[in-house]
Amino acid sequence: MTFRSLDTADLAGKRALVRVDFNVPMEGGVITDDTRLRSALPTIRYLSSRGAKVILLAHFDRPKGQRVPAMSLGPVAGPLSALLGEPVLFGEDCIGADAYRTVASLENGQMALLENLRFHPGEETNDPAFVSELAAFGDLYVNDAFSAAHRAHASTEGLARLLPSYPGLAMRRELDMLDAALGNPQKPVLGIVGGAKVSTKLDLLNNLVRKLDRLAIGGGMANTFLAAQGHDVGGSLCEHDLGDTARAIMASAKTAGCELLLPVDVVVAREVKPGTATRTCGLDDVKAGDLILDAGPETVKRLIAAMDASKTLIWNGPLGVFEVPPFDAATVAAAKHAAGRVKTGQLVAVAGGGDTVSALNHAGVVDDMTFVSTAGGAFLEWMEGKTLPGVAALEV
């Protein structure tokens, strides 16, 4: 994939329409986690410092094309201004007279945040008329919201077709890291896919077995594979109706030369709660009322050996019910080992997906991985091998 680079753009005095992801968690009009604001700061500062007029476009929540006061981006402007140390104007709309006045008042290097794009139905339908209204405010377009790039919306796909377009700094880093993990990785490549259900990750599994050297499957979804092999999984979470699907994935992996790593031992209990009695056992020793809640120590040893034999790791999903200790043991051990390999330069480790980020935070290693994506759906669709409209539109 080839993209224009911002460092080749003539920015002084130009109006830069910048798509950011400011869909931040908020309670009572107060932001509770400003991670997404912080991730946009480098691009905003880069453009501002080079004399561009920076016009920020974003959505918040799901107003479904209606003006919903509780979903205004107004409460974001103040905290963003505080992070930047510069004033950020707020436009009461993203098109029309209010937006025009806000944009027209900007001097070179100044910044404005326009109102929630999704107050207009044309945003999500990618309506050409709405796209044209947005484009009238800009001389160039920058997409710094990889997390929204899997949507073909006006502000993610439509604008990129009308204006000279560039990936922002955060977007570019995400694309570079994903390319390093799946596009052109250092081999051998190991994947870890966990989570509750096979049914939610069929496209992911089918894509990865064609691209990886080894794929470890953990969490509740591993039970479906174990059951498909004829193992009794007791009362564990298991999609028994997907046995044929699991066997087909195993066959595809064998054909593609991808070694599938399934648990060889498990940690079981009778209920999911802290302090409950647990038992580590082999796959043929799971009793009728047992719940498989974590991978066992021998499984972790095999996974660590696979990491040691790999140069690249891509990780999505925990290995057990990490939210309830002691069923976090496998996830924490694997995460800490991966982080250690990254620190010594022996492994490139890229991870993403909501539960994955939480699990790595729980293990205390988020900052030690090569890259941790917070993009959620866009990260998963990229791993599934799908074309992301917001990325494809930036290609030259």
Domain final residue pick, 135, 170, 205: 170
The edge-to-edge listing of strands for the beta sheet with 348-352 is 259-261, 214-217, 189-193, 312-316, 348-352, 371-373
- Is 270 found in the same domain as 154? no
Residue 234 lies in a domain: yes
CB distance 1 to 391 below 8 Å? yes
Catalytic residues: 36, 197, 354, 377
- Is 198 found in the same domain as 100? no
- Is 376 found in the same domain as 264? yes
Residue 213 lies in a domain: yes
Residue 309 lies in a domain: yes
* Nearest CA-CA partner of 73 in 142, 174, 185, 155: 155
- Is 164 found in the same domain as 39? yes
| Token pair belonging to 274 | 């802290």
Residue 354 lies in a domain: yes
In whole angstroms, what is the distance from residue 22 CA to residue 81 CA? Answer: 13
CB distance 223 to 237 below 8 Å? yes
Residue 353 has pLDDT above 90, yes or no: no
Residue 50 has pLDDT above 90, yes or no: yes
What pLDDT does residue 315 have?
97
Residue 134 has pLDDT above 90, yes or no: yes
CB distance 52 to 14 below 8 Å? yes
Q: What is the mean pLDDT of the chain?
A: 96
Q: Where are the alpha helices (DSSP H) in 9-153?
A: 35-49, 74-84, 96-104, 121-125, 128-135
- Is 365 found in the same domain as 242? yes
pLDDT tier for residue 336 given thresholds of 50, 70 and 90: very high
For residue 374, the enclosing domain spans 185-383
Q: What is the pLDDT of residues 251-260, one digit of tens each?
A: 999 999 999 9
Residue 113 has pLDDT above 90, yes or no: yes
Domain final residue pick, 170, 197, 226: 170
CATH number, domain containing residue 126: 3.40.50.1260
- Is 191 found in the same domain as 149? no
Residue 1 has pLDDT above 80, yes or no: no
Residue 376 has pLDDT above 90, yes or no: no
pLDDT tier for residue 71 given thresholds of 50, 70 and 90: very high
- Is 196 found in the same domain as 142? no
- Is 200 found in the same domain as 163? no
What pLDDT does residue 314 have?
97
**Number of folded domains that form the chain:** 2
- Is 192 found in the same domain as 66? no
Average pLDDT over residues 84-110: 97
Domain final residue pick, 123, 141, 170: 170
Residue 354 has pLDDT above 80, yes or no: no
Q: Going by DSSP bridges, is the β-strand pair 278-282/265-269 parallel, antiparallel, or unpaired? A: antiparallel
Average pLDDT over residues 176-191: 94
- Is 214 found in the same domain as 117? no
- Is 257 found in the same domain as 145? no
pLDDT tier for residue 213 given thresholds of 50, 70 and 90: very high
Residue 298 has pLDDT above 80, yes or no: yes
Residue 330 lies in a domain: yes
Residue 176 lies in a domain: no
pLDDT tier for residue 130 given thresholds of 50, 70 and 90: very high
| Token pair belonging to 283 | 């796959």
Residue 233 has pLDDT above 90, yes or no: yes
What pLDDT does residue 48 have?
98
What pLDDT does residue 374 have?
86
Residue 128 lies in a domain: yes
In whole angstroms, what is the distance from residue 82 CA to residue 67 CA? Answer: 26
Dihedral angle, C-alpha 249, 253, 254, 256, nearest 10 °: 130
- Is 122 found in the same domain as 24? yes
* Nearest CA-CA partner of 194 in 81, 316, 304: 316
